[in-house]
A and B are shown apart, each in its own frame.
Chain A
Amino acid sequence: MARADPLGGGGILDDANDAPKSPKEAEIDAGDLDTKALNDRLRELLLSGVEKVVIRNVCGQRYIGTRLYTPQHLKMAIEIFGTPGNDLAAFLFGHKITVHGNAQDGVGNTMDAGEVVVHGRAGDVLGFSMRGGEIYVRDGCGYRTALHMKEYEGKRPVLVIGGTAQDFLGEYMAGGIVVLLDLEERGHQANFIGTGMHGGVIYLRGTVDESQLGSQVASFPVDQSDRKLLDHYITRFLERLPDVGLGKEEIVNSHFVRLTPKSKRPYSTLYTY
């Protein structure tokens, strides 16, 4: 496999001050790159053995992280400065992405493994059909968050949101863990939460009215094991996003509700033979 020249083309490292610390690190200026060119460059770097990439001036390029599957399962950490476009981390295969800015729609679409941290907010269908890995978003997110998220045995996707979500949160959800922290304490405004939900769990910090829930979910007070789980993921959230204004104890010891589906067979009586 040809080793890419870390100083060659693609708008990389025009500024000598940004020189990489080691050959395993690289930097891309995405200012003049379209989606395909940026992802070409990322893949090239991954195949050449680079383990950490900083991408600057990102502006709407889509599918960042998607084309990084290799049969050898090479892994990479990506730092994004700017605003990545839709489908960031779609089908993500174990890589680690940090966004210093807001993200758009479809973050973590069918994501398999790895981690996404957004220092800002995310758009609609965040974590759609996500099946593994973790996503941490500092602020809020859009409609249909965690739509049809699913889990299997040890593979349990996790989504922790610092703010709140819009309508249809957890629609058709079949597995995984979603935590909404509402750190600014605006209250959860979403309706139709958990419509069609048949697996997984949603934790909401604060309260939610019964009328906001889909007919397939029920709300419960959190117990000891829920608190333990919340403690674990809130700790991880704060490790990645420490500047949220509230301390760990304050968040963990707040009032939470747990939403779980009433049945894992929501449509078992719909049919006749």
Chain B
Amino acid sequence: MKSFVFPEFQIIRDEERCGQCRGCERQCAFGTHTYDPVADRLISDDTKCAGCQRCVIFCPKHAILVRPAPSFYRPNASWSREKLEDLKKQAETGGVILTGSGNDKPFRIYWDHILLNASQVTNPSIDPLREPMELRTFLGSKPDIMDISAQDGKVDIRTEISPNLMVETPILFSAMSYGAISYNAFGSLARAACKSGTYFNTGEGGLPKEMRAEFGRCAIVQVASGRFGIDAEYLNCAAAVEIKVGQGAKPGIGGHLPGEKVSQLVAETRMIPQGTDAISPAPHHDIYSIEDLSMLITALKEATNYEKPISVKIAAVHNFAAIASGIVRAGADIIAIDGLRGGTGAAPKAIRDNVGIPIELAISSLDRRLRGEGIRNRCSIIAAGGIRCSADVVKAIALGADAVYIGSAALIAMGCTLCQKCYTGKCNWGICTTDPRLSGRLNMDIASQRLSNLISAWSHEIAEMLGGMGINALESLRGNRDHLRGVGLYEWELDVLGIKGAGE
């Protein structure tokens, strides 16, 4: 069938500059560029281009320009180009439109409507370069009361303390499974997490055996509906265990890792045959209620001898705060909430772009709900989905989160350009692929350095912002909405966020 879909990108090659080195041809796994030996020139097929900019960055002569192709349709606010072309693709194939990364639609980004406070004259600001600044955070359940006994100058804690994760800075790497991302990308996250005193999350694809001894201590291992690669050794080598119920990019649905991406190593780690689809069903079939969830939480506590905090990750959806309250009562030590803009390796576009609520609103309503019920101390909140910079982290914590997960931001640090073609397995940046030729492009020393640099840069900025507010410990910022003001927001939005308008 003749396709009526226009190319998304336009490739412009400066023939004067091009030295016919064929570098672009090698760089592109989508087969966009080919060499014509007769004409001694490179031909580019716009229809194949993913817009990932790999060839542009790696062209030694800077001869290539890739830019979004202008739309040829009559402008129409209702029938945008994207709507027209998605519809045509479906008319041509009858399939579900698949995409990668997070929601790219112009829903209001509340971070950009919230402003931070700073000290002036009274309560003077603190210079973090000279004075101690505490970014260390403990994630897990805290007791309702602390019973201590002091005798002969010796203090003894009588209360049984739940296991907590100690994180040096409130930024953790979000769940990205080996299989969805490459071995090198996965390993780079692990290395950077250990180096920076934080944690990476294995996602549901297991943790390769050879990584357990060295990186298990910085790993949060996931138990998802597919239960891939899970055994007692996997659970016990980790710092914490996370039950994945939902994901911001695709709340309410499961996942399919296509058979093409299930290479020998991925198969070994997930413990499934090579080349089969790795199917994660939409629900956990042993969880139909809060009581059932409680049973899985306890089963995991049993399996890990009550030594590790258990996290439950859910997508932020309409009535999630009530559910989260149930999750805390079910015994979770940490709740991870993933908002509307959370990323993914593959999701149906209709789901990614239309389901869920923004994380900013979700953090605030969850924190308030748990405080209102007097159970906020029983669990920590990790917020995920759309954290782009250190200021977003500070705002998330002031709205009530204990820490944040970053996924897309971490991938961007390694080279990702958010081309959204993750599901093809042909990532030219070596991140979202299991093809050894492509994944080998990601140098683990360099990629993990870029990640550590990002964590360290954001941590400095967080310390600066805290100091500016006259605060010397992250603890004092948590849920401290007085340090936030909204601009350009409706009354109901300010109410949900629990903040005042600027100038108030």
A155–B271 CB distance below 8 A: yes
Query: Which B residue's beta carbon lies closest to that of A130?
Result: B227
Secondary structure at chain A's binding surface: helix, strand, loop or mixed? loop
Stretch among A84-92, A159-167, A230-238, A247-255 lining the B interface: A84-92
Q: Are B267 and A152 in contact (CB under 8 A)?
A: yes
- Please classify how large the interface on chain A is, using the bins under 10, 10 to 19, 20 to 34, 35 or more: 35 or more
Asked if residues A69 and B303 are in contact (CB atoms below 8 Å), the reply is yes
* A106 CB contacts on chain B under 8 angstroms: 286, 295
* Choice from B90, B95, B231, B305 contacting A112 with Cβ under 8 Å: B231
B232 / chain A contacts, CB cutoff of 8 Å: 69, 91, 93, 112
Q: Are the C-beta atoms of B279 and A198 separated by less than 8 Å?
A: yes
Which residues of the partner chain A approach B90 to less than 8 Å between Cβ atoms? 272
What are the residues of chain B within 8 A of A43 when measuring CB–CB? 305
**Residue among A67, A93, A109 making CB contact with B231, cutoff 8 Å:** A93
Stretch at the interface among A4-12, A18-26, A260-268: A260-268
Decide: A66 and B299 in contact? CB cutoff 8 A: yes
Asked if A62 lies at the interface with its beta carbon under 8 angstroms from chain B, I say: yes
Are A128 and B302 neighbours in the complex by a CB distance under 8 Å?
Answer: no
Asked if B89 and A148 make an inter-chain contact with CB atoms under 8 angstroms apart, the answer reads no
Complex contact B285–A128 (CB within 8 A):
yes
Q: Which of A86, A93, A147 contacts B285 (CB 8 A)?
A: A147
Interface mask (B236-279 → A, CB under 8 Å = 1, otherwise 0): 10000000000000000000101100000001101111011101
Q: CA of A110 to CA of B95 in the docked complex: distance in angstroms?
A: 33
**Interface set, chain B 284-302, CB cutoff 8 A to A:** 285-286, 295, 298-299, 302
Given contacts A67-B305, A69-B236, A268-B259, contact A174 B423 (CB under 8 A): no
From A147, A152, A268, A272, contact of B271 by CB (8 A): A152
The minimal Cβ–Cβ distance linking A184 to chain B, given in whole angstroms, is 27
Determine if B208 is an interface residue (Cβ-Cβ < 8 Å): no
Number of interface residues of B (CB under 8 A): 43
**Contact assessment for B93 and A272 in the assembled complex, using a CB-CB cutoff below 8 Å:** yes
Docked-complex contact B279 and A109, CB < 8 angstroms: no
A194 on the interface (CB 8 Å rule)?
no
C-alpha spacing A171/B303, complex, angstroms: 25
User: Does A224 lie at the interface of the complex (its beta carbon under 8 Å from any beta carbon of B)?
Assistant: no
Task: Give the complex CA separation of A106 and B258 in angstroms.
Answer: 28
Residue of A nearest to B233 (CB): A69
* Interface check A120, CB cutoff 8 A: no
Pair B276/A199 contact, Cβ less than 8 Å: yes
B98 at the interface (CB under 8 A from A): yes
Question: Would you call A17 an interface residue if the criterion is a C-beta within 8 Å of the partner chain's C-beta atoms?
Answer: no
Point out the residue from A63, A175, A267, A270 that lies within 8 Å of B302, measured CB to CB: A63
Partner of A90, one of B96, B259, B281, B303: B303
Listed in ascending order, the chain A residues whose CB lies under 8 Å from chain B are 35, 39, 43, 62-63, 66-67, 69, 71, 86-87, 90-91, 93, 105-106, 109-110, 112, 125, 128-129, 131, 144, 147-148, 150-152, 155, 171-172, 174-175, 196, 198-199, 264-273
**Which 5 A/B pairs are nearest by Cβ-Cβ distance?**
A272-B95, A69-B232, A129-B227, A272-B93, A152-B271
**Interchain residue pairs with CB less than 8 A apart (11):** A69-B232, A69-B233, A71-B236, A93-B232, A131-B231, A148-B227, A152-B267, A269-B95, A271-B98, A272-B90, A272-B98
